[in-house]
Structure formats: structure tokens, C-alpha cells
Chains A and B, each alone.
Chain A
Amino acid sequence: MPLAPNAIDFNAVGQVFATQSGPLTALDAVNLSIAQHEFVAVLGPSGCGKSTLLRLTAGLMLPSEGQVSVFRHPVTRPRDDVGIVFQQPTLLPWANVLDNVTFPARHKRGRVSALDRDRAAEVIAAVGLKGFEARLPAELSGGMQQRVGIARALFLNPDILLMDEPFSALDALTRDAMGYELLKLWQASPKTVMFITHSIPEAVLLADRVIVMSARPGRIIADLQVPLGRPRDELALRAPEVQDFAAHLRELLIAKEPAL
């Protein structure tokens, strides 16, 4: 594979939040490069600054120290080529599936064009919700709601997809199914993905590379290639070297997790 340009670069990034009990260091000296079309999972305990990483990339906050760049441009505000999928689907309860997916157009430009509707039909079909366009979110299962969330993020065809524990609110079976579905989507239309998770199996199943973070202050303690080719399936995941890799990740996480 030819060397692709970096999509995301963190250069000595630190993030300090002012809280009632004094400053809180969420990120400390984070250096990270993610290549274009690379699928990177960020793995870590709660409160390790995983979400901060995502919000910095999205331009929703600016770093206290260092620099975050997307396609070699310093991030100073939200960009058009970044899509976000949140932990909860956070759909508009009054809008049907189609209107939820086209929401970015309506919200950004004030109108939804015929072209937008075509694009929406495309992404709705891609996430397997064809025929459900007129349903309200309350009429959908949790997994289907999150598919709408993904379709909404894909709608503007971003180069970079930021996913903040998108499947953590789903039951285990749906979660696995959604993982495979996401891989299919990603293979059909490659994007740079930053996937925040605290699930080791999920990280191993999905990612090319796993970044392991420690809790407060958030630091990168390991940056590992997943020893698995693509496409992936149940069988490949059961290979001994993959199991060893998962065990290694677990050790890294436990070693850094403060005693309970």
C-alpha cells in the first residue's frame, strides 16, 4: 500500500480543564498520527481523556498545549470533512429517519435539496434502514437508532469519522452485529476512523491499530498494530495470536487501572 498522507496529527497535545477542585489534566503530551483511511481504536478506562481526543480532532475544543492538525491544517474550528457519531444516537425525537439523516443539511444551510435527499437515501440504504425512512426514532430499536446516528454522520460524506463509544449503549449481540456492519461500510467507502471504546474485543475486531491510554492524566501508553488481516470474521478472531494480542491489551489496561 502506498504511504498515505496523515489525516490526523497530535503534536505534544495537552489539555487542562478548570474544575471546582482545581485544574484537571485530561491529556498530557499526546503525540499521535493517524494515516488517511486508517481505522484506529482508542482504548482506555473511563476518564482517560478519550473523548477529549475526539473533541479536539472535531474542533469542538482547542488544546491547552501543542497542536492538533487535520490534513496538515491546524484545527481551529469545526471542519466540514469530519463526521461524529456519539455514544447515544441523540436523534431528534420529532423527526423521522429521513429528516434526522438530512438534519445536517437543514441545520447548516437551512434547506434540504433534492440532491441531499438522494444522498440520504444512499446512506440510509448503506446502514440497512431502507424502508424505515418515515419512522420516528421512538419506533426503532436501540441498534436501529444508532444506525440512523451513523447515517447522519456519513450524510455529509466526511473524510474522517469520529466515533465516541457508539455501540456501548447496545446489547452484546447487536453490538457485535453493528461492528461487522461498520467494517462493511468502512470497506465499501474507506474513511479515516477514530473509534473510542473501552471494549477490547471491539477494538480488536474493528481496528488496524489500537491506541491504549492511561487514566488521569490521559497518556498514550501503547500504540499497537492489530495482528489481523481483512476482511475479518469470527474465525480469524479466534486465532491464538489474536487472543494473545487481546490478553496483552487487557494487561496494559489492568496495569494502569487504579486499584478499586
Chain B
Amino acid sequence: MSADVEPHAKRAGAVPAAPTRKAPGLPLTERLIATPVVLPLLTFAVILVLWEVATRVFAVPSFILPAPSRIIDGFGAVPPARWSAHVWATLRVALLGYLVAIVVSLPIAIGLAKSRLMSRALYPLLVVIQSVPVVAVAPIIIVVLGTDDAPRVVITFMIAFFPLVVSMTTGLMATPPELIELSRSLRAPGYREISQIRLPYAVPYIFSGLKISVTLAVIGAVVAEFVAADVGIGFFIQFSTSMFRLPQAWAGLVVLVAMSLILFQAVSLAQRVFFPWSLPKERR
């Protein structure tokens, strides 16, 4: 019996491994594969250089494809205060829409997972809503709700909401049936089946939905700004293009990508910090 109970005694008693001399001896390609950050950065740098060289050699006009150096200049065309106003406007709408999507999708997902009746009644409707191209509805929503943040938050919500409902519902249904039986055999109140079993079990699923949705929320905010806004990165890109200031528009694009990446990483970080058990072992 003690054989499988004392892994630590075994570990402590083990002879310390000889200092590994593997790393320096490895060929360069192996070492690059072993470091997950270096390789993509290197690829990216190579692409930037090629891009820069190509635009100069072939004298590509900047409204077709500005060189990376021109795009960097584009950042300077607008004062920092203006940049932060744009970033804040987009970020605010994206996060608000995202939050509304989370708050709305959770009870719906619980309903879908718990009640076949609700699932039958609601699910087709949700699919129809998801099938409506949000870009096409955006102008209508703006007309109905006016031109402040509200319509933009609604548009963002509409884009971010569906993956959340699907991932939450899938997660809530992914609980091992034995645990539900255990819950029933204890005659525990139904809400505890949700709060103590189903919801925590759904955490990995919920986070994959949260990650998809946070980047969709940025897209939603930008789409809304395309339709009606006087501030925000989406507005800035549209405005810059209409003025033929393409390097500046590209700079806006870079900011958007950075924003999406940071939000995505923030969600990943939240999962690692608060729910480390929900990650596959090798990523804890």
C-alpha cells in the first residue's frame, strides 16, 4: 500500500541528477524551439525588415502599403493626449460590452443547461440572433439608441455574447454525471449543484469563451465606431483613411492589435492566477 503513497520519500532519497549539459550541446534549431518567445519575435522582425525593404525597393506609395518606419511616424502625427482619448473610448466600450455580455450570458447558460424546456425554447432564437450580421444591424441600433456609448455597448455585446453562452452552456453540461448523482444523493438544494459543482467545473470552458469574446468585444467596439462616433480607434482609422493619411490609419491598427492582445493576455492571466487547477498540468 505504501508504494503509491510515498512519492516524496522516493524523490527525496533519489540521487541528484547529474548536471545537465544538454542545452549548450543542442543544435540551434532545437534551442530556438525550446524558447517559446524568441522564435515568433524573430519571425516578426524578419517580416518587418522584408516589408521595409520591399516598400523602399519597389517604391510602393504609402497609401497602398506604408513602410513600417512610416507607420511609426504615423504615431507621431497625433498628440499623445488625443491617442489616449481614442484608446480610452474604444477600451471603455469594449469592456462595458464585454461585461454586459458576461452578465447576460451566465443566467441564460444556466437556464439552457438546467432546463430542456428553456433550451428548446431559447437556443434556436439565440442562433438566429447570432446569424444576424451585426455590422448590418449597427446603423439601425445607432438610430434607435442615439449616438452616445449605449448603442456602441449594445453592438459590442451582440458580437461578444454568443461564444460566451455556448462555452458556458457546454461547460455547465460537462460535469461528470456521477457528481450530479452525488449531489442528488445528498438531497442538496439545486442552487448548490450549480454553485458548487457545475459552475466550477465549467471554469475551463468559460475561460475559453472569455478569451474569444474579449477580442470580439474589441471588434464590436470598432464596428460601432465605424458607424457613428467622434472619438475612438475605429473612428480614428476611418477618419485617417478618408483623409488619405494611411500610415496614421495603420498606426491605429497597430494600437487595436496591441489592445486585443493585452486584453486576451489579461484574461489568460486571470485564469492562471485565480483558477490554476483549470489549466492543463504543463501550463500551470
Contact = CB atoms under 8 A, between A and B. Distances in A.
Nearest to B175: A90
A88 interface: yes
A109 to B, nearest CB: 9
Interface stretch (B39-47, B192-200, B242-250, B263-271): B192-200
A136 B4 contact: no
A108 B186 contact: yes
A92 interface: yes
Given A78-B185, A82-B185, A107 B192 contact: yes
A179 to B, nearest CB: 11
Contacts of B181: 55, 58, 60, 84, 86
B106 to A, nearest CB: 18
B219 to A, nearest CB: 32
A86 B277 contact: no
Contacts of B7: 141
B1 interface: yes
A181 B200 CA distance: 32
B176 A88 contact: yes
Nearest to A93: B277
A129 B3 CA distance: 13
A128 B196 contact: no
B178 to A, nearest CB: 4
Contact of A84 (B182, B192, B281): B182
A136 B275 CA distance: 13
B238 interface: no
Contacts of B183: 107
- Which bucket holds chain A's interface residue count? 20 to 34
B283 interface: no
B179 interface: yes
B4 A141 contact: yes
A87 B178 CA distance: 9
A138 B277 contact: yes
Contacts of A103: 196
A190 interface: no
Nearest to B277: A94
A138 B281 CA distance: 8
B57 interface: no
Nearest to B187: A78
Contacts of A43: none
A73 interface: no
A174 B5 CA distance: 11
Contact of B187 (A84, A106, A108, A180): A108
B15 interface: no
Nearest to B176: A90
A59 to B, nearest CB: 7
A106 B188 CA distance: 9
A128 B184 contact: no
Contact of A94 (B178, B182, B192, B278): B278
Contacts of B3: 173, 177
A110 interface: yes
B186 A78 contact: yes
A82 B185 CA distance: 8
Interface string B1-24: 101110100000000000000000
B5 A144 contact: yes
A129 B186 CA distance: 24
Nearest to B179: A90
A134 B197 CA distance: 20
Interface string A143-167: 1100000000000000000000000
Contact of B186 (A107, A132, A143): A107
A87 to B, nearest CB: 8
A174 B4 contact: yes
Interface string A165-207: 0000000011001001100000000000000000000000000
B179 A59 contact: no
Nearest to A90: B178
Contacts of A141: 4, 7
B185 A60 contact: yes
Nearest to A184: B1
Contacts of A143: 4
Interface of A: 55, 58-60, 77-78, 82, 84, 86-88, 90, 92-94, 103-104, 106-108, 110, 128-129, 132, 136, 138, 141, 143-144, 173-174, 177, 180-181
**What 5 pairs across the A-B complex have the smallest Cβ distances?**
A86-B178, A78-B185, A90-B178, A108-B186, A107-B188
Given A60-B185, A78-B186, 17 more contacts: A60-B181, A77-B187, A78-B185, A78-B187, A86-B181, A90-B182, A94-B275, A107-B182, A107-B188, A107-B192, A107-B196, A107-B197, A129-B5, A132-B5, A141-B4, A144-B5, A177-B3
